Amino acid sequence: MSSKGLPPGDGRRGFLEKGLIGGALLAAAGAGLLATEKTRRQAGAGGPYTVLDADEASIVLAIANRLVPPREGFPTPGSVEVPRKVDAIIGMMEAPTQKELRQLVALFESALAGLLFDGAPRTFTASTPEQQDARLLAWRDSRIAVRRTGFKALKGLCCAAYYSSPETYGAVGYPGPPELTAPIEQSSDESRQ
Amino acid sequence: MIFDQAALANIKTGRDLASDVVEAPDVCIVGSGAGGSVLAFRLAQMGKRVVVLEDGGFYTARDFTMQEATAFPHLYQEHGNRATADMSITILQGRALGGSTVVNWTTCFRTPGDVLQHWADRHGVKGLTPQALDPHWSAIEERLGIEQQPADEVNPNNAVLRDGGAKLGIKTDLIRRNVRGCMNSGYCGMGCPVNAKQSMLITFIPDAARLGAKFYANARAVKIDFEGRRAAAVHAVVSDPDTDRPNGRAITVKPKLLVLSGGAINTPALLLRSGMNPNGRVGKRTFLHPVIAGGAVFAEPVEGFYGAPQSISSHHFARRAGKVGFFLETAPIHPMLASIAGGGMGKDHQAMMAQLGHLNSLIALSIDGFLPEDDEGGEVTIRGDGRIRVDYEIRPPIWEALREGAKAMARIQLAAGAKQAFSFHSDPVLMQSEGEVAKLDRAPWEKLRVAVFTAHQMGGCAMGGDPETSVVDSTLKHHHLDNLFVVDGSAFPTSLGVNPQLSVYGLSHWAAGHVAAAV
């Protein structure tokens, strides 16, 4: 269960575990201060979006592409519009939560954060699939709880967007909702429309 | 007809308000779930003028499309994204006219007698006995058609618990459910598409509305004004039903008496936001029945997405001397929730998903609130930016219960013929024989390394005999206010050890007399 990334040195761990990641580092990522390399735009990440920008949408799609790697019968995350659906989910959240999630996406992408955390000085989108999997695992299995929180948030958004899409039901052997023919004792509730 | 013109005339949504509204009823109830709806009906029956404010929307069976993509954003708190602040516990809690009763899995238990006795002995609660509650539970059971699920209508997902338990000598029972004419479609959690579930939406809400109780959906109570020992007014912002964003309208209610029935997270949050916390106990002792799931793969199809979600339960492990108890039930298996809960990365996660139709899922619900510490449980607070914050650190005795629950589930699944049992750790523990169940002892039982859920929120405005350590008294009246009651699961001093809906209905039915007398 140990982290697949480099174990942080004592000094660095102390710095990170004092909770600074939750504030200063997230804020720095959100402000683009850690963006030492540009995000590689992903094919299929087309908008328009209500909350995310094009870079953030590309990062989300790149994450989804590793959470749901190519497999026969599984539509690609791009083909079921995972970035647009994640954007819609985030769009329903309260403004401060939206901001935190955008900061998280930027931090996850950041080459500098990759270097500091895991000794991997490259953006997520510019990494090879193997490097991307290593970064996802490093976040998932980190000793730092807030990184595990970050992984859970990103995975939850991507999985919700992908697996709630009816186009993916066939891949998982889900026939979808049944046809229900029983009369629904409804009402005159047309009148409320 | 469920929603005839007489009922609909008293159910308004954010779309119906052309201007701001001011109401001055006898009683204002915040929240239309299990607590608020029963109370609204009872008070209307007694001739009281009632106004109910509901944050969620007014949806009916025609809106319940059995799709996770729409059900969770529309019918759950925070659009399906509620969780503890560190996201270590996913919080499933309904948000709609009818509250969580619109999306719960229809499981009904009366409050266990030993839990009520514990409340009396430990928390100074007076008068809440099985005998006192019996006529109230009976009335609810009759109105909601609460009956045991027929033994021949147990789906394969639940049969795993029954059959595996039988082989191991673990006692299980058929569950009682609040349904009439159930088609066992399996979509209780997304709103019943055929009006079989006897939720508040189709029972006490139209009943109350026909008697003159007024319901405002899309109306979020945001602040209470206090004058001395009285709640003077409650302010609500109104949202557009289509966008779920404030539309500029406001509702002000100046009631003789105010009842908070927003559930165990939103009720303490409203009090805190309104600055009403004289003894510091509001939002404390929040209980969640922290839940761990156990998965299994079967050679034959299980199709856990279909059939009554819960029909079998086991309280075999609910009373463990000196340890935290747990009870066992099942969870329906739909793709989105399964994918969020399931561990494994990339290909492994995908391989689990590809077997969805052959998966079984059991759940172990830990019974929190009975440890000796006074500060047990979680806490609801308000962030600086106004958002609700829920914190819950799982204590070692609860982790122990979750671990033992996971082991019990794996044994049951393997006894029932599973090819493989697996845990919901980030790195799942895989077990193909009884001998491998011990691997769970070596797994990391630590937050954010294993999926933990709650669908049962309780406490935060505990009732009790001592005004210094509890929020409301044994009649559910606020200790420090003359005209404010809390009638929902937040009044429970501990968790229940059973699914809470019938406890909340019964408590509300019982409390109506106290509330009416105080108007």
Annotate B435-448 with DSSP letters as a single string.
GGGGGGGGS--STT
Query: What CA–CA distance (Å, rounded) separates B28 from B36?
Result: 10
Question: How far apart, in Å, are the Cα atoms of A88 and each of A192, B37, B69, B496?
Answer: 27, 32, 11, 37
Residue B492 scores a pLDDT above 50: yes
A 108-167 → B contacts, CB under 8 A: 133, 136-137, 140-141, 145-146, 148-149, 152-153, 155-156, 159-160, 162-166
Contact: A160, B336; criterion CB under 8 Å: yes
A:66-105 residues touching chain B, CB 8 A cutoff: 66-69, 71, 73-74, 85, 89, 92-94, 96-97
pLDDT at B438 over 50: yes
ipTM of the modeled complex: 0.96
Q: How many helices (H) and strands (E) does chain B have?
A: 12, 26
Query: Which of B58, B91, B216, B339 best tests the A interface by mutation, with the highest count of A CBs <10 A?
Result: B339
How would residue A165 be classed by pLDDT, with cut points 50, 70 and 90?
very high
**For residue A180, what pLDDT is reported?**
83
Contact check, Cβ <8 Å, A93/B79 = yes
Are A141 and A187 in contact, with CB atoms under 8 Å apart? no
The whole-number average pLDDT for the span B125-147 is 98
Cα(A72)–Cα(B234) distance, integer angstroms: 56
A34 has pLDDT over 70: no
Q: Given CB atoms, is B336 within the 8 Å cutoff of chain A?
A: yes
Average pLDDT score over residue span B262-270? 98
In the block, residue with structure tokens 């929120």: B457
Q: Which long-range contacts (CB under 8 A, 24 or more apart) does B270-276 make?
A: B270/B30, B270/B221, B270/B222, B270/B223, B270/B224, B271/B224, B271/B461, B271/B471, B272/B380, B272/B381, B272/B382, B273/B222, B273/B223, B273/B382, B273/B386, B274/B223, B274/B224, B274/B225, B274/B226, B275/B226, B276/B224, B276/B226, B276/B481
pLDDT at position A185, please?
A: 56
Give the model's confidence band at B21: pLDDT under 50 very low, under 70 low, under 90 confident, else very high: very high
Residue A22: predicted pLDDT: 54
On whether any CB of chain A is under 8 Å from the CB of B193, the answer is: yes
Q: What's the rounded mean pLDDT across residues B359-368? A: 98
Instruction: Report the candidate in B290, B305, B311 with the shortest Cα–Cα distance to residue B160.
Output: B311
> Given an 8 Å threshold on Cβ–Cβ distance, is A133 in contact with B346?
yes
Inspect the interface and report whether the beta carbons of B62 and A137 lie closer than 8 Å. Answer: no
Which residues make Cβ contacts (< 8 Å) with residue A78, sequence separation at least 6?
A: A42, A43, A44, A45, A61, A65
- pLDDT at position A19 is 43
Beta bridge partners of B88: none
Pairing of strands B430-431, B420-423: antiparallel
Mean pLDDT of A66-84: 97
Q: Does A184 touch chain B (CB under 8 A)?
A: yes
Distance from CA of B355 to the nearest CA of A (A): 6
B346 to chain A, any CB pair closer than 8 A? The answer is yes
**Residue-wise pLDDT tens digits, A100-122:** 999 999 999 999 988 988 888 99
**Which run of H or E residues covers position B257?**
strand B257-260
Per-residue pLDDT band for B203 (boundaries 50, 70, 90) equals very high
Residues in A touching B62 (Cβ below 8 Å): 184, 186, 189
Mean pLDDT over B170-181 rounds to 98
B357/A172 Cβ within 8 A: yes
Cβ-defined contact of A184 to B354 (cutoff 8 Å): no
Chain A positions touching B81 (Cβ under 8 A) are: 89, 93, 97
Which residue is closest to A65 within chain B, CA to CA?
Answer: B346
- Residue B91: pLDDT over 90: yes
- What is residue B407's three-state secondary structure? helix
**CA angle (A121, A122, A127) in 5-degree steps:** 135
Q: Is the pLDDT of residue A35 over 70?
A: no
Any chain A CB within 8 A of the CB of B393? no
Label residue B318 exposed, middle or buried (CB < 10 Å: 0-12, 13-18, 19+): middle
Amino acid at B285: R
A174 vs B86, B193, B356: nearest CB: B356
Contact A1 B448 (CB under 8 A): no
Q: Decide: B42 and B269 in contact? Cβ < 8 Å.
A: no
Chain B residues inside the 8 Å CB shell of A145: 86, 88, 447-448
Give contacts of B 14-43 with A, CB under 8 A.
16
Q: Which residues of A touch B69 (CB under 8 A)?
A: 85, 164-165
Within 265-304 of B, beta carbons closer than 8 Å to A belong to none
B13–A92 CB contact, under 8 Å: no
What is the pLDDT averaged over residues A10-25? 43
CB pairs under 8 A between A and B: 159
Task: Answer whether B88 touches A (CB < 8 Å).
Answer: yes
Helix ranges (H only) for B129-231 are 130-143, 156-168, 204-210
pLDDT at residue A16 above 70? Answer: no
The pLDDT of A181-187, averaged and rounded, is: 55
Q: Hey, are the CB atoms on B88 and A149 less than 8 Å from each other?
A: yes
Q: Which residue of B has its CA nearest to A63?
A: B346
Which pair of tokens denotes residue B399? Answer: 């982790």
**Nearest CB partner across the interface for B86, out of A1, A136, A145:** A145
Mean pLDDT lowest among A178-187, B20-29, B471-480: A178-187
CB contact under 8 A, A178 and B347: no
Minimal CA separation from A71 to chain B, in Å: 8
Q: What is the nearest CA distance from B86 to chain A, expressed in angstroms?
A: 6
> What pLDDT is recorded for position A29?
66
Predicted pLDDT at A41: 85
What pLDDT score does A189 carry?
A: 44
Tokens of B318: 């609910």
Banded model confidence at residue A10, pLDDT cuts 50, 70, 90? very low
CA A40, A42, A45, A47 torsion: positive or negative?
A: positive
B106: closest CA of chain A, how far (Å): 19
The beta-carbon neighbor of A180 closest among B194, B444, B447 is B194
Is B323 an 8 Å CB contact of chain A? no
Q: pTM for the whole thing?
A: 0.94
B310 CB-near residues (< 8 Å, 6+ apart): B105, B106, B107, B158, B175, B177, B329, B330, B499
Average pLDDT over residues B154-162: 98
Neighbours of B336 (CB within 10 A): 22
Q: Across all residues in chain B, what is the average pLDDT?
A: 97
In Å, the largest CA–CA distance within chain A is 68
Contact map slice: A 4-63 vs B, CB within 8 A: none
Q: What percent of chain B has pLDDT above 70? A: 100
